[in-house]
Structure 1
């Protein structure tokens, strides 16, 4: 496991970097699926809380199809402080949101250094983090159900970032 300080030092000169922060992901199947998506879409680091969510367990590792062993992961004690540390280093924080103020994912201009924050299905990203975000994005829904499973939503947003910068 990498520390945030080590990651930021190592990536100081990098123009483009994608970091995924997970807030209150308690379902091990969801965490595993998110780690799998993170690996598939080339996420540079996954950050999660020691206190708010599940840990990397054998169930998570199995659900990740091996990605838990491949994607760089950092467990932190304070998501808000960690988020501000990334912002000080030039990262723009964005949260997945279903609120009216959120921009459509399909029209969003992604920053090159992005910290994408995904929250639990029931509550979303905690208000403290949401308030400190630079942007809020939403995935437009066209059916009668207004939300996706957090692992599905994460995959779509990570794909949105990669599509935005595809050459």
Structure 2
């Protein structure tokens, strides 16, 4: 059984026919699908270990070549584009729930990292960026009270 959102905006009974309902359902589904495809923003998990920071970006269906990772001015930016490939194989899509489009995520980095040792890998739809800490630099300082 499918739940359907009730719309109070219907002005009269004529607009409540089953045919009109189906027309609205499919038309609105494709309009919303196009909006969703334009606003792809992958989920990112940020973790900190004793020796490194780890960013895990959930981007299934992409290739390694689809990503750009840039570091500058104390920030790391992960960007890319997930394209909808509508192959001409006789399929008619009635609903597209997967999100597509260009994305860019930027994260501020602490001062105690080793910028030249940052590594990235992509496996099973997860892009992992490992940012090692510089153990010589301490961010924690104790202030003596006078």
- After TM superposition, the score normalised by the length of structure 1 is 0.18
Structure of higher CA gyration radius: 2
The structure that is helix-richer by fraction is 1
The structure that is strand-richer by fraction is 2
- After TM superposition, the score normalised by the length of structure 2 is 0.19
